[in-house]
Every structure is written in structure tokens, then in C-alpha cells.
Structure 1
Amino acid sequence: MEKGASDPDPSRQRNGFVGVLYGEFTDTLNDRLRYSVSLTESALSIQRISSSPGRTRMVFNLTDCVGCRAYRGPDAVDVGAYFTAYFYPFKRRWMSAGVSRQRVEQCFRVALVQDPLVNLREAERWAQAIRDASGLQAPRRDGVVYTELRRPCRAMILVNPSSGRGQALQLFNSHIEGMLTEASVPYKLVITEHQNHARELVRKADLSQWDALVIMSGDGLLFEVINGLMDREDWQEAIQTPLGILPGGSGNALAASVHHYSQLPPAWNEELLLSCGFILCKGLVGSLDLVSVRLASRQRLFSFLSLAWGFVADVDIESEKYRHVGAIRFLMGTLVRLASLRVYKGRLAYLPVKGASEPPKGSTRANPPPPTPQRPSLCSSLPCRLAPNASPKPDSRHSANSNHGAITNSSINAVNSKAASPADSLLPGLDRPVPEGWTVVREEDFVLVLAIYQSHLAEDLWTAPGAAADDGVIHLFYVTAGISRPALLRLFLAMEKGAHLACDCPHLVYQRVRALRLEPSSLQGMITVDGEMVEYGPVEAQVHPGLARLICG
């Protein structure tokens, strides 16, 4: 007969959880195999009871636990009850020095008495205790203030079936659906059907029904969702809805960034998906900066990832023809664009973060003239990414990342007409000169300009290693004309490990800024916001720290 006991010592209690439970249970498949099981605030320890020496003991960290459930057996004659805990610990990758999360479940049979209801209550007691303890042990970054999702969390999950290689729905069914069931996360699955479907949906949705909005796609679908939330009359409350990301596209920049913020080793493909699914199930919520982007047509967009002009935007849009190959499309697009490198003429101005390095050569302060300008140290930490998630060409199949050409007034409602929306207090307006304190880069020939606010621009492009989702900073990079094709390629290759600033390339400039203005002089070119092509012309942007909320770890 199984034993069950608890330690009622108040000093062991935290948030209603009793510090220690102990019990003896049998294996679910073999009643002759017995285990002693103990639960503390940090771990579930399992030891096989045997007369032979060298008894096997397993310890599972509750940080790796997503849930636990109790249930009756399928056989009505069975008086026993069961509880199963689900863990996703790190294990060594096969033939690799890296680690990734792998699913492990531990199931036990409870048969204290011949009364099935008594046994079920005991199984439920253990399941609840494990759930409570694992919630307290969610992985947290030092110095970051988190809130927790409501339990059970009601999630609306939006999936773009055409993103990436068209496998997002299949990946959800094979990797995420079961994990959400294990974590007792009820959800509604919404399949997007056309461009701006997600935007229209969240703009009209009754958000009181949902504790989180989760996006499984590339970065373009989240762009739609954020701008749909900001379109609402109740945008201040709506934008506080926690946002989750599951990688299902080509670039997956935010998913890679969220994984990176969890202080985990790099992951790609299904390993990255499993990591983001785990983070979603743990349910910690932090702040997310948004950047307000104003275009010449007076449209106002809200961006969570990047603003790009030149090489990066060209690769992003032109690589659409290679979408069927997945993330490697960016490498192919990079090689094609390197073969015929373009140079763009324009002006750049920015408001540096207070205490940031002096402006680079060729730059001036708006007023008064600067002291002798110096390049920022290229060894300072915080790089950029150069192959964002892209948008399909106009005749491509539906994708929520799809532009179907540049975003226009007809496809996007301008938010700036709302007096209540957050004020861009740092932006003077495109028809006015930049204020005192801004740095102005004189008329220059650029190969690229990239403003990024997350650590990654793609799964394998670690652009700003020191960035955080809520650091209140736009990480601005630009490359001037004169750089050779091999040197530019070396920068991209170094970016895979976040080492491109250490290349000491004289044509690469990096600044940490609060706001910026870009004024292209070249008649032709492309500008992208979060990988989506927008109208070509003057643009200015400023960061709004912590405006949104992100499910992270």
C-alpha cells in the first residue's frame, strides 16, 4: 500500500505551498516496481525501492516542469489513480556539444486504499503541489521584473499556415499542442486567411476573453497584431495584453531574441520552437519596447523589431522568391545582392543615448558644432542583424508576413489621428529641422542603415548581443560606401556569433539612440519596418520604453 505524507512546518511554506511532500507509489505498468517520491520547493526526487545495492535516484528540477495532471485509469475495475508530471530538461544534443530541451514525463500510480475517490484526491493533491511549486520555479533573469499569466491562461493562438516553408500549422500540431495540454493552457486556434486578417481580428476582438495573444508565424504576423491593438480606441489597455511568440516563419527574429534573453545557448528550427513553447507554458511576462515610426504620408506604425534601408531591406524583400527553402533564403539573397552591391545617398540624424560615445567622422551635432568627432569604439558590446524576416511578393500565396507591395493608406489605418495615442515627444516632424542635441550625419553614401531593438535579426544573426526587450534603446548601425564585398560578407558571417563589431571595420558605425530620422536622396530604394516594406521616403522614429508586454523567460 502506498504511503503519503506532508511536512506542515510553516517555515517551509511559500505562497501557500507546503515545502515537502513524500510518498511511495508504484510504476504505472508494473505494480512490483515501487518508488519513493519526494517533492521540495525546487525539485521532484524519485528513487526506486529495491533490495539490491546502488539504487537509482533521479532528480528533476521544477524549473523544467510545465505541468502535472491527475486522472483515473482507463479500466473501471482499477481503484488506483494516477498523476503525471511533464518536464523539459536540457540534454546534450546528439553528436553536438550543445544542449536543447527534451520532453520527459514521470507517471505514478496511487492506491492508498480501495476507494478510488480517495486515491484520486491524493493524486490531485500531488498534481496541484507540483504545479504550484513549478510555477514558483519559473526561470527568471536577474534584475528583470516579471508578472505571471493568469492560471489557467486563456490564449488566442494565431497561426499563419503559409509562413516560412508553409509548415507552421504542422509544427504547431506536432510540437506545441501537446505541450499546452500538459501545461493546462486552454486556447483557441485561429488560422489567418489573408493579409491583415490578424490586424482586423485583434482590432475588433473582445480582449477580456483572453489572457494572452500568441503568434505562431514569422515576425510579420506579430507586426499585424501590435498595430491592430494600437488601432483600437482602448489601445492603452489593449497593448497590455501579453504577447507570446512561437517561431513558424523564415526569420523568427523575436523568437530567437526571446530564447536568447532566457540566457540559453543558441537554438534553431524545432529546438527553438520547443524552447519558445516552454517559455510560453511557464507564463512569465516582461516589458517590451515599441518604436513609433512616422512616414512622409503621415502614417504612423508601431514596430517591435527593426527599421531598415539599403542592403538589409533589399535582401529581405528580394529573397521572397526563395521562401520555399526557409531561413536559408536570407543567405541566398545576401549572396545575390553582394554580387551587385548598391549604394544609396541620403542623410541620417539621431538622438544619442545620454552618455553614449561621441559621433563618428562625418557627423555633426545639430546645434552647436561638435568637438573633434571620434568614431565609437567598435569593441563596445551590442551588434545588429542583417537579414530580417521578409514579406512575400505580390503574387505569392497568402502569408501574414505578406506586403503585397508597400504598406499604403488603404491597407493600414493611421494611428496618429488618435489624440490619445502615445505622443512622440522626441520627434520634431519631418517638415522641421531636428532639435538641438541630435547628431546629424552629413550627406553620405550608405550601403545600409539598420535600426534594431532586439538581440537577433534572424535565428542565426545575433545582431545586438547586449540588447534587451525593454532596454529603451534603438541600436543603430550603418555601413558607408567604400566597403568591399568580402569585407561586407565577413561582417555578416561574424554576426552569426555576435562578433561583427569586433571586426574593426572602418565603414561600420554603431550608436545607441532614442530617436532617429532617415532622409533618402536616391530616387529608388526600399525601406522595411519589421520586415514589411513601407512607402519609400523620409522616415523618423522614436522608442517608447515598455509600452507592450511580452511572454519571456
Structure 2
Amino acid sequence: METDPSQRRNGFVGTLYGEFTDTLNDRLRYSVSLKESSLTIQRISSSPGRTKVVFNLSDCVGCRAYRGPDSADVGAYFTAYFYPFKRRWMSAGVARQRVEQCFRVALVQDPLVNLQEAERWAHAIRDAAGQQAPRRDGVTYMEVRRPRRVMILVNPHSGRGQALQLFTAHIEGMLTEAAVPYSLIITEHQNHARELVRKADLSQWDALVIMSGDGLLFEVINGLMEREDWQEAIQTPLGILPGGSGNALAASVHHYSQSPPAWNEELLLSCGFMLCKGLVGSLDLVSIHLSSQQRLFSFLSLAWGFVADVDIESEKYRHVGAIRFLMGTLVRLYSLKVYQGKLAYLAVKETPKPQKGTITASHPPSTPQHPSLCSSLPCQLIPTSPNQNHHRNHSTTNSNPITSVITTKGTETQGDAKTKTLVDSLLPGLDQPVPESWTVVKEEDFVLVLAIYQSHLAEDLWTAPGAMADDGFIHLFYVTAGISRPALLRLFLAMEKGSHLACGCPHLVYKKVKALRLEPISPQGVISVDGEMVEYGPVQAQIHPGLARLIYG
């Protein structure tokens, strides 16, 4: 072992070197070298030009040591699991793909000694990989921590009804490789997730992960905000695994990782990889007030007009997956509507510099080391009734008003320790006029109004190219009446590449705001929050930066 002071400070000490055989052919030998940021594998051969492969440890999710299935085999084994970017088959671009590297350790005839050596390597690789988490340019994370106890909520009816199968096929194995214990809960009805997290003992969990569309995360966030211990509850890291048809947050999380575009199973693999790495950052939430005085918390969007119509009306096509939005768009374009209403907003005067957090690379004292031997991870499966349907929430009659919310840096609260509520200091009452500092839009005829706080509105809709999960902005778009059908279609086609703002469309307006108010005048219409239909009427919203935490890298 070679030691280096800088490596010792980072938690990994020196360079580890060994020679091992192939798991299937003892005649094939490899030299393996572990350094601070890489694992180098080179075949030992008498011929020149030996093949060498270098793996970046930032792509490694785990490593395990184990005995072989043959009790007469004195050797031991260790296997490292990588998800590097590799060129896609039959198409351009790259995507994360699984690579497994396995070696046989047979230094002596003592099985225990060989197993101990395999465990030493597995532990060293895991430790070094934990120090080499992926990074986004110019961004540091508040915390680097691999979740060790994860509650995973799966809606089996989301999207095309394949969420559970996708979890079994792609994510279950990844979590085993990363030694992340989890409990799998199958949601059985509308608001099941909301009710569950409202009552759950969250001290038992290090993260709550959603395997569904965006609607289930909406339930979870509002369930957390309804708890008496909301201050601690909303700090529970949230993860997203795309299992629906929209998957807007999953696409946004993937985008924030500065990875090449991905869809379908490739997007799922990317989000699963980030879950295994366990990088935690801030997530902005938006407080939304409805005319009934109910308050909701939103992580994605508030929409009225064309976007909300397409989202809700395309429900009938959800069995076809993400293409439902294209079908809904074409149908709504054919019968394009114009809505009358009043819009006002508090614009952002200056764009603040992004605040950088600090990195805590070591595990807390309470976090146990992951086992190096192969073992069955604790997994609870709570089955769903096959006869139950899981519908989206198209009304708010079953929702409880929020009476307690989180206190974070820069967030105002009022009340005593047990009844503190979040103060929306920028918002007057809905029955009061907006302050003079707000901008009132002169136009009253709109095709759509969309307030979004993530980069993507769907897997293939890069709606707010400059948005980040924690930028502190509501990205407000609206399209005024007079736009032609072909021009509106061009905007949405350009949105696939995030180039719609460069189209020069005079009917499209984009603003960064902190708060907004929308007052529909047209007697009928649809307003949606995070893709869920809410009551139609006046609505206003204010952003609260960093209110929640999100697993992304």
C-alpha cells in the first residue's frame, strides 16, 4: 500500500494493487490497480500491447465480495458495478449502461484468507467511489450522502401501467448492487401516498422515492407539509424514478446532471444511478392559494389554458405513454381556444448569483457501513388489489388545508413552535389588489399561461432552459391571443430542443418572477397544479427557495 496525505484527507488511502484471475477461466490473469478516482484493469499477457481498461469511480454504484457457489472452491470473488456513458446501440449519442467487473481471489488455499482479501478490495472500491460523486459545473452540493433506508412508493397504474415491471427490471438490481436497503410500497388509491407519508415514522427513512409520474410526488410533498413535524419532515430527501407518461421532474433531474438527453428506460437508468449515488441538493417549492382559501405546495408548474387543457384532456390517451401529449396537442390545436383573464406578477429585478453549498463527504456517525458480503436487503412488498384503479386527483374536496410548513433560510414563519405557518409575505389576500410593485399585464386574451419552476414540462419538452431545481425563480410564460395554429405548433416543436425563446414569436412572453396572480374571466376552463386539476377560479402563487430537498447529481 502506498499512502498520500491528500488521499488520506479525502477518506481513501493510497493505491491498491493486485493480480487476479478471470471468474470463468483461471488461465486469464489481470492486474488491477485502484487509485483515488479510477480502477484500472489490464490483462497480463506475454504478447505486447496489453489491453487496458480504466473505469471512473464516479460511475461506480457499489462493489461486493462473496464466496462462490461451489463449496470446494477455495477462491473468493469481488464484483464492481459501473454505469458509464457508452454509445447507444443503433443510434447516435451516449447513455448510461451497466458494466460488471468480477475477479477471483485465490492467493492461498485458505478460503477465509481469500474472502478477507476480496472484502478488502470491495470495501476500498466502495469507499473510493463514495468520494467520487458526479458534479455539475459551477455547483456544489449541500450534502453528499448515500441513502441507506429508502421508502419507494410505486403507482402501478401510472403511465402505461408498467411502473412495477420497470422497477423490477431496472431499479431493483441497481439498489442491490449499491447496497441500498428499501421498502417497496404499492399505492392502492388516490391520495394513498399522501395519507401514508402524513402518518409515517420518518425517522425510519433516509429518503422517500417516487416511482410514478409527477402526480404521486405532488401527493407526497403535500402530505409532508400537513404533518405536525413538518419542519423535519420536509427535509427528508425526495427522489424521483420515472414511471409515468409525463416524467417532467425526472427529465429535469437528468438535465441538471448535465448528461446527454435520455428517454424511456435510459432516463430511468439515469435517475436510478443518481439515487444510488445519493447526492442531495435543494428544491424550491411554490405556495399556491386557491379561491377556496386552500393552500397547496407545488414543485413543478401552474398552468391555465392550452397547456392545462392538453394535460388533463390527454388523460384518455395515457395508455400510449408519453405520446399522449402530442396527441392531446394536435386535438387542442384543431379546436384552439382563447381565454379571458387578468395576470399580474412580481418580476425579479436582478438575477442573483447561485449560492454554493458545502460538501460533506463523510457519512454521519449513525450511518453504518454497507455490508461487503452478498446479503438479502430488507424489502417489504405491500401488494395492491388488482381490481382497484388509481385515478388522478381531479378535485380538491378530499384535501386538507395546510396549517403547518417548514422554516428554512430566508423563509418567514409566524406562530409558536407547534403552530408555525409559512408566511407568503409577497402575496396579499385574493380579495385585495396586487401591490404597486407588481406588473399588471395589459392583455386579457390568452392562449395559455404557464408558471414552471423546473427545466422540463415533460420528457421531451425543455420548457425553461435556464431553470434549476433551486434557482429561486418562477419561470412565467404566457401566449397572447392572435397566434396562429402553425406558429403555436412551431413553438412546441422548438421546445423539444429548448429553442422556442429564439423563435421571435411576438405572442410569447417570458419573465422570471417571484410571485404571480391569475384571475380567469372566462366562465369555464382548466387550471392544473403539477399536472393535477384544481378548482377553477382566481389563484396566486409565491416561490419559497430551498424549501425541500431533492436527490440529484
Give me the TM-score of the superposition, normalised by structure 1: 0.90
| 2:60 aligned with 1:73 | no
| 2:424 aligned with 1:424 | yes
Once residues 343 and 146 of structure 2 are traced to their aligned partners in structure 1, the CA distance between those partners, rounded to angstroms, is: 47
Once residues 179 and 295 of structure 1 are traced to their aligned partners in structure 2, the CA distance between those partners, rounded to angstroms, is: 41
Per the alignment, residue 109 of structure 1 pairs with: 104
Alignment counterpart, residue 396 of structure 2, candidates 391, 396, 407: 407
Once residues 219 and 399 of structure 1 are traced to their aligned partners in structure 2, the CA distance between those partners, rounded to angstroms, is: 14
| 2:310 aligned with 1:323 | no
Partner SS for 2:289 = strand
Q: CA deviation at 1:93?
A: 1.0
Q: CA deviation at 1:435?
A: 1.1
Alignment counterpart, residue 117 of structure 2, candidates 122, 126, 129: 122
- 1:144 and 1:286 in contact (8 A); partners too: no
Matches within 5 A, 1:16-95: 16-95=11-90
- 1:299 and 1:416 in contact (8 A); partners too: no
1:515-538 CA distances to partner (integer Å, 9 max, x unpaired)? 000000010000000000000000
Give the AA of the match of 2:116.
R
Partner SS for 2:115 = helix
- 2:11 and 2:128 in contact (8 A); partners too: no
Q: CA deviation at 1:12?
A: 3.2
Q: CA deviation at 1:318?
A: 0.5
1:224-250 CA distances to partner (integer Å, 9 max, x unpaired)? 000000000111110000000000000
Give the AA of the match of 1:481.
A
- 2:344 and 2:440 in contact (8 A); partners too: yes
Per the alignment, residue 456 of structure 1 pairs with: 456
| 2:180 aligned with 1:191 | no
Give the AA of the match of 1:202.
V
Q: CA deviation at 1:153?
A: 1.2
Per the alignment, residue 141 of structure 1 pairs with: 136
- 1:307 and 1:528 in contact (8 A); partners too: yes
Give the AA of the match of 1:527.
I
1:52-87 CA distances to partner (integer Å, 9 max, x unpaired)? 111111111111101000111111111111100000
| 2:198 aligned with 1:203 | yes
Q: Percent identity?
A: 84
Change (3 A) 1:537 1:281: same
Per the alignment, residue 309 of structure 1 pairs with: 304
Q: CA deviation at 1:406?
A: 2.1
Change (3 A) 1:417 1:19: closer
1:135-166 CA distances to partner (integer Å, 9 max, x unpaired)? 11110113333244655610000000000000
Q: Which moved more, 1:445-454 or 1:16-25?
A: 16-25
Matches within 5 A, 1:40-439: 40-148=35-143, 150-151=145-146, 153-355=148-350, 398-399=389-390, 402-403=392-393, 405-408=394-397, 411-416=398-403, 419-439=419-439
Once residues 500 and 184 of structure 1 are traced to their aligned partners in structure 2, the CA distance between those partners, rounded to angstroms, is: 43
Q: Which moved more, 1:419-428 or 1:521-530?
A: 419-428
Per the alignment, residue 487 of structure 1 pairs with: 487
Once residues 435 and 20 of structure 1 are traced to their aligned partners in structure 2, the CA distance between those partners, rounded to angstroms, is: 63
Partner SS for 1:457 = coil
- 1:227 and 1:302 in contact (8 A); partners too: yes
Partner SS for 1:175 = helix
- 2:189 and 2:388 in contact (8 A); partners too: no
Partner SS for 1:458 = coil
Q: CA deviation at 1:26?
A: 0.7
Once residues 114 and 451 of structure 1 are traced to their aligned partners in structure 2, the CA distance between those partners, rounded to angstroms, is: 67
Once residues 55 and 142 of structure 2 are traced to their aligned partners in structure 1, the CA distance between those partners, rounded to angstroms, is: 25
Q: CA deviation at 1:398?
A: 2.6
Q: CA deviation at 1:118?
A: 1.3
Q: CA deviation at 1:16?
A: 2.7
> Any gaps of 5 or more consecutive residues in structure 1?
1-5, 357-395
- 1:203 and 1:231 in contact (8 A); partners too: yes
Once residues 11 and 429 of structure 1 are traced to their aligned partners in structure 2, the CA distance between those partners, rounded to angstroms, is: 57
Q: CA deviation at 1:122?
A: 1.0
Q: CA deviation at 1:416?
A: 4.1
Once residues 135 and 262 of structure 1 are traced to their aligned partners in structure 2, the CA distance between those partners, rounded to angstroms, is: 17
Partner SS for 1:100 = strand
Give the AA of the match of 2:452.
I
Q: CA deviation at 1:399?
A: 2.9
| 2:3 aligned with 1:8 | yes
| 2:546 aligned with 1:551 | no
Once residues 195 and 67 of structure 1 are traced to their aligned partners in structure 2, the CA distance between those partners, rounded to angstroms, is: 36
- 2:226 and 2:403 in contact (8 A); partners too: no
Q: Which moved more, 1:152-161 or 1:201-210?
A: 152-161
Per the alignment, residue 517 of structure 2 pairs with: 517
Q: CA deviation at 1:350?
A: 0.3
> Any gaps of 5 or more consecutive residues in structure 2?
352-386, 406-418
- 1:298 and 1:416 in contact (8 A); partners too: no
- 1:258 and 1:552 in contact (8 A); partners too: yes
Once residues 104 and 11 of structure 1 are traced to their aligned partners in structure 2, the CA distance between those partners, rounded to angstroms, is: 29
Equivalent residue pairs, number: 505
Change (3 A) 1:539 1:472: same
Partner SS for 1:456 = coil
- 1:47 and 1:57 in contact (8 A); partners too: yes
Per the alignment, residue 390 of structure 1 pairs with: none
1:265-289 CA distances to partner (integer Å, 9 max, x unpaired)? 1100000000000011010000000
Give the AA of the match of 1:215.
I
- 2:150 and 2:206 in contact (8 A); partners too: yes
Partner SS for 1:277 = helix
Once residues 523 and 417 of structure 1 are traced to their aligned partners in structure 2, the CA distance between those partners, rounded to angstroms, is: 33
Partner SS for 1:469 = coil
Once residues 443 and 401 of structure 2 are traced to their aligned partners in structure 1, the CA distance between those partners, rounded to angstroms, is: 30
Once residues 340 and 427 of structure 1 are traced to their aligned partners in structure 2, the CA distance between those partners, rounded to angstroms, is: 35
Once residues 277 and 417 of structure 1 are traced to their aligned partners in structure 2, the CA distance between those partners, rounded to angstroms, is: 32
Give the AA of the match of 2:94.
V
Once residues 281 and 313 of structure 2 are traced to their aligned partners in structure 1, the CA distance between those partners, rounded to angstroms, is: 34
Give me the TM-score of the superposition, normalised by structure 2: 0.90
Q: CA deviation at 1:15?
A: 3.2
Per the alignment, residue 534 of structure 2 pairs with: 534
